[in-house]
Amino acid sequence: MWPRFGIKIGNSTLCIAHIRADGKVEVIANKQGDRVSQACLLWDGANEIECGLTAKQKMATRPRQAVAHSFQLLQPKEQLTEEQLTNAIREIPCEFDQEEFVFRMEHTQPSEREDQDDKVVTKEMGAYEVTIELLKAELELAHQYHTDSEHAPIAVISIPSYYTSETIRLLSDAAKTAGFHVAQIIAEPTAAVLGYKIGEEPLNGTQRQHVLAIKCGGLYSHFSLYAVQHGYYVELATFGPYPIGGRQFTEALVQFICEEFKRKYKLDPHESRRSLAKIRTAAANCKHILTTLPSTQLYIDSLMDGVDYNVQMSRARFESLIQPVINQFIQQLGECVDRAQQEHPEDLKRIDDIVLLGATMQIPKLQAAVAARFPDAKLHNSHSADEVVAIGCARQAVCLLDPVEQQLQKADDCVLVEDDLYIWHGNDKSNAKLVLGKGSVLPAKIRLSLPQSGEGDANNSMAPFMLRTGESEILARLPDTTPTEDGLFKLEVEVDWNDKDGHIAPLVRLRCM
């Protein structure tokens, strides 16, 4: 049964974490020592397929043999709009057949004789097959800790919240084919909130927390808002996807390099597809380095016509280049949160916590912009934004009691309190105490101290207790009820529920301790 695994798979990267029986979560590093693997695939022209960083490094010189950003196409063709399909194909290095809905990789085999033409061989793969190959690479990492040859590793896998149920089924089947036992598939924002254990410990008794999950990945961004209470998550709103991602931040640096190179050497890299591929690879590496270091050397060997490019790039210069993209991102985020607060005026009056996910959210300037937009919220960024989803999935795997025998659904049934429940003694409503807040999970048992009523009942401890939920008030008398010397009743309130005409009616039992 142990260890169990959490897997995050996206358009740009994959990440796998494992959790032992003692509850400790660790992200597994790949052969290159990276904790996050690249979601790239390269065909060698024969029978060999490479995945990860080596595939991405070779993609710049052999783009027609490589597949990248394939996860966005892991869904039925009819569920994609023409705009979505056009944007997706633009990010793919190899050819994509829109009729057959497959990636077509091409490899040129040099002829052994001068009088013969070179031979072009092709290989076709759908997004489903590509996903299987990428997950097989993650299975190799899992086998470092999973040594049971008879049973498949148990895994919880994430998926973007806007993907359809059909994609969830395809992802589940792909993971099973790759060699995992898929116990559950959960939304990425939910996994990120789980990664920080938000709402698992009571906060001020019955208080709700409102959590904003912000994802900015390689290609897209999306936002989700949750109400969290007693470890139960209610999704209030979700927005996206929006075409603002790491590619837009990288592209700002790419354009700067192209303009600088053209100004200095009178050569335009836009005229060469290979030169642009080299620039994009270097710009992406530079962007990731500047998330942790104040400056880096940006060097591109033989960028164009044998000319090298070398420049010192500081974080300040990079931040000035990406500022327009950050402004666009924050504007989109603000509009979404304002819309959600208008749609849920009672439930969403404030944002308590912000969770960041997606590699692009590691950019310090972007984090600072989010913190400035929501100054009263707690910003959670102690985990790497590219690893927190896998960590949350691994933690969710702990909650699965029997993952081999049954597969959990996306959400289990849970009964919640529909209105606040208050209690007071006698006629003194000013001393009313909140027993359970709206959204609390039933059944529940609470112990509390309640002041004895003052006016009219000061010497009558036998006055009834009153409970109110919504518009209803309930009178309850307890025999042999005696307050303590300081005038307090020690009560145990047990609240269960009854489904009456489609409405949850609380059943309250009082006991004087």
Mean pLDDT over 315-326 rounds to 96
Residue 393 contacts residue 17 (beta carbons within 8 Å)? yes
Print the domain residue range for 287: 246-321
The domain spanning residue 277 has which CATH number?
3.90.640.10
Residues 140-173 as b or e (16 or more Cβ within 10 Å = b): ebbeebbeeeeebbbbbbbbbbebeeebbebbbe
Contact 228, 427 (CB under 8 A): no
pLDDT, average across residues 422-448: 78
Both tokens assigned to 310:
């070398």
Place of tokens 């996994």: 191
**Given the structure tokens 């070779």, which residue do they identify?**
58
Kindly state whether residue 159 falls inside one of the protein's structural domains: no
Residue 277: its pLDDT value, please? 85
> Which pLDDT tens digit goes with each residue over 46-63?
889 999 999 998 888 888
Q: How many residues does the chain have?
A: 513
For the cut 50, the answer to whether the pLDDT of residue 439 exceeds it is: yes
Q: What is the CB-side half-sphere exposure of residue 57 using CA atoms within 13 A?
A: 6
* Helices and strands (DSSP H and E) totals, the chain: 10, 26
Contact call for residues 364 and 222 (beta carbons, < 8 A): no
Residue 354 domain-assigned (yes or no): no
For 132-136, 277-281, 324-328, which range has the lowest pLDDT when averaged over its residues?
Answer: 277-281
Contact (CB, 8 A) for 170 and 408:
no
Q: 84: closest CA among 241, 214, 238, 215?
A: 241
Question: Of 109, 125, 144, which residue is a domain's last?
Answer: 144
- Residue 408's pLDDT band, with cuts at 50, 70 and 90, is very low
Question: Distance between CA atoms of 424 and 466, rounded to whole angstroms?
Answer: 5
CA atoms within 13 A on the CB side of 217: 29
Closest CA to 508 of 463, 471, 469: 469
Q: Which amino acid is at 11?
A: N
Q: Which residue has the higher pLDDT, 413 or 416?
A: 416
Residue 237 and residue 161: Cα distance in Å, rounded?
Answer: 11
Q: How many other CB atoms are there within 10 angstroms of residue 263's CB atom?
A: 8
User: Which of 118, 144, 170 represents a domain boundary (last residue)?
Assistant: 144
User: Amino acid letter at 77?
Assistant: K
State the average pLDDT for the chain. 87
**CB-based contact 395:25 (threshold 8 Å):** yes
**Cα–Cα distance between 263 and 281 in angstroms, integer?**
21
425 has pLDDT over 90: no
Residue 379 belongs to some domain of the structure: no
pLDDT in tens, 445-468: 788 888 887 654 445 667 788 888
Environment class of 82 (CB within 10 Å of its CB; exposed 0-12, middle 13-18, buried 19+) = exposed
* Structure token pair of residue 68: 């990248």
Does 406 reside within a domain?
A: no
Tell me the average pLDDT across 330-346.
92
Tokens of 496: 């269960």
Q: What percent of the chain has pLDDT over 90?
A: 55
Helix axes 246-265, 315-343, angle to 10 degrees: 150
Label residue 393 by pLDDT band (50, 70, 90).
very high
pTM confidence score? 0.79
Residue 271 resides in a domain: yes
> C-alpha 441: how far from its chain's center?
24
Question: Amino acid identity of 237?
Answer: A
Per-residue confidence (pLDDT) for residue 407, from 0 to 100: 47
pLDDT value, residue 46: 86
As a whole number of angstroms, the distance between CA 121 and CA 99 comes to: 20
End residue of a domain, out of 144, 166, 183: 144
Tokens of 511: 């006991």
> What is the pLDDT at residue 366?
97
Is residue 411's pLDDT more than 50? no
Q: Say how many domains are in the chain.
A: 3
Residues whose CB falls within 8 Å of the CB of residue 403, separated by 6 or more in sequence, listed in order? 1, 4, 154, 181, 183, 184, 397
Strand, coil or helix: 429: helix
Residue 172 falls in which region: left (phi positive, over 0), alpha (psi -120 to 50) or beta: alpha
The three state secondary structure string of 200-219 is CCCCCCCCCEEEEEEEECCC
Residue 475: CB atoms within 10 A of its CB come to 8
**CATH value at residue 99:** 3.30.420.40
In a domain, 56, yes or no: yes
